[in-house]
Amino acid sequence: MSTRGVNEKTENSVSEQTEKVDHTIIRLVKKLAFPTLVLAFCLMYLNSTWNRLELSTLVYPYAILLLTLALVAVIYAKEIFDTLSKPTATLSISESVKRLLSEWDVSILVVVTAIGYIAIMETVGFFPASFLAIVTIMYIGGVQNWRLIGVVSIATLIAVYILFVVVLGIRPPSGYVQIEFTVPW
């Protein structure tokens, strides 16, 4: 191996060691996001079943819930202890947030699109809201061909219409804007 290769490896390892990591708070948020989501779902389940169902039917689900809550508590304790016990050079909170947003920008836009989809469905109805959501998510996902986006969106909605409205007889939300499709058969 040449000395040039050894020098490059040494320089790379030094730069990797001095690279700053995200701020402690941001690292904790990243590590605890999923356990927090699990905790939220557990609490929502508990809220939706408490005093509504007979306790004898909930013994097994509540045992699983209790086990899940215990595991979440252990994960919280471990991650907090591990993160706080290892002091490292960190970025500022604003730099860490910028890095986080640049890593998760597509995911954040998809979540915002989903929230918008749910919000406008009652107003404009299922099919127009679904069309907008499909177009937006395809564009966010990197599809730049508008013809492809249009064809896929329309084909998907036609398939959904045939399956749910025609075959199964399910009426999706129509919203305040009444758009009725009639089937000739």
Q: Is the pTM of this model over 0.85?
A: no
Distance CA 121, CA 176 (A): 9
28 and 64 inside one domain: yes
Can you give the residue range of the structural domain that contains 130? Answer: 102-185
Query: Of 91, 117, 147, at which residue does a domain stop?
Result: 91
The predicted-structure confidence for 34-73, as pLDDT tens digits, reads as follows 888 888 888 888 878 877 777 777 788 888 888 988 998 9
Query: 3 or 55, which is more confident?
Result: 55
* CA gap 71, 65 in Å, rounded: 10
**pLDDT given at position 146:** 92
What mean pLDDT, rounded, does the chain reach?
Answer: 80
How many domains does the structure of the chain reveal? Answer: 2
Residue 130 CA, chain-centre distance (Å), reads: 18
For the chain, helix (H) and strand (E) counts, in that order, are 6, 0
pLDDT class for 15, splitting at 50, 70, 90? very low
153 contacts 128 by C-beta, under 8 angstroms: no
Same domain, 63 and 128: no
CA-to-CA distance for 35 and 69, rounded, in angstroms?
9
| Final residue in a domain of this structure, among 43, 67, 91 | 91
pLDDT at position 119 over 60: yes
Within-domain flag for 122: yes
Please report whether residue 150 resides in a domain: yes
In a domain? residue 9: yes
Residues 9 and 81 in one domain: yes
Q: What digits encode the pLDDT tens for the residues 16-31? A: 445 677 777 777 787 8
pLDDT at residue 177 is higher than 50: yes
Does any domain span residue 97? Answer: no
Answer yes or no: do 116 and 31 share one domain.
no
Q: Note the pLDDT of residue 152.
A: 94
Residue 183 has a pLDDT of 55
Q: Of 44, 65, 91, which closes a domain?
A: 91
Residues 125 and 76 in one domain: no
- Where are the strands (E) in 30-78, listed by range? none
For residues 73 and 159, membership in a common domain is answered with no
The answer for residues whose C-beta is within 8 angstroms of residue 161's C-beta and 6 or more apart is 127, 181
More confident residue, 51 or 146: 146
Q: Which residue has the higher pLDDT, 182 or 114?
A: 114
- Tokens encoding 137: 């998510």
On whether both 61 and 111 belong to a single domain, the answer is no
